[in-house]
């Protein structure tokens, strides 16, 4: 008994899969990938038929979703890295404190992890000279977000007797 050959994906089928993983709307995805289809009812029927009859559709969609998940994971890592740059920043990496006062370090000498923590720099001429204002991103907020990311702050507080704060509050509100 000969094995049945799986139908290959056409360019339109691949485009359908790429559109489908955007928002999981099979009708919109079908209409985008098959521009001649003008009716939503026809697109719904054809998309359903395509999903059910082409055995290569589902594996291709899963492959696209895995790629998407990998990109999302990298994005999450990038966000955490930026929060760490802000949360663990040290103003002494930007300013020099000595007996003559406070001076800015040469901006060309600052590493990218230092400059990532800078929110803004502005200067203003005064009678005494040039006044420079340096603003860093909010360290407390970045550290708080990192703490949440690493589950350092539990969502519930357990009271005596094994009851969480949320449970105690719900019970009190019923009275």
* Residue 173, domain member (yes or no): no
Residue 160 lies in a domain: no
Regarding whether 100 and 60 lie in a shared domain, the answer is no
Structural domain for 25, as ranges:
11-67
Give the pLDDT score at 154.
65
Beta strands in 60-144 (DSSP E): 95-98, 101-104, 118-126, 129-136
With respect to residue 125, please indicate whether it lies within any of the assigned structural domains. Answer: yes
Residue 169 falls within a domain, yes or no? no
This prediction has a pTM of 0.47
For position 155, what pLDDT does the model report? 60
Question: Quick check: is 116 in a domain?
Answer: yes
Q: Which segments in the chain show pLDDT lower than 50?
A: none
- Report pLDDT digits (tens) over 13-41: 999 999 998 888 999 999 999 999 989 99
Q: Enumerate the β-bridge partners of residue 96.
A: 103
């Amino acid at each position: 008994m000969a094995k049945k050959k799986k139908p290959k994906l056409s360019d339109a089928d691949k485009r359908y899969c790429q559109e489908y993983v955007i928002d999981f709307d099979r009708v919109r995805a079908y209409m985008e990938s098959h521009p001649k289809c003008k009716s939503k009812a026809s697109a719904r029927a054809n998309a359903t038929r395509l999903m059910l009859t082409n055995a290569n559709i589902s594996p291709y969609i899963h492959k696209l979703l895995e790629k998407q998940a990998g990109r999302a994971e990298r994005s999450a890592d990038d966000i955490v890295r930026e929060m760490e740059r802000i949360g663990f920043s040290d103003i002494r990496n930007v300013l020099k404190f000595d007996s003559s006062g406070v001076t800015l370090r040469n901006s060309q000498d600052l590493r990218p992890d230092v400059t990532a923590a800078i929110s803004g720099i502005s200067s203003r001429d005064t009678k005494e000279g040039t006044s420079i204002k340096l603003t860093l991103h909010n360290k407390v907020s970045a550290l708080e977000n990192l703490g949440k990311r690493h589950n350092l702050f539990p969502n519930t507080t357990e009271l005596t007797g094994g009851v969480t704060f949320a449970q105690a509050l719900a019970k009190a509100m019923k009275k």
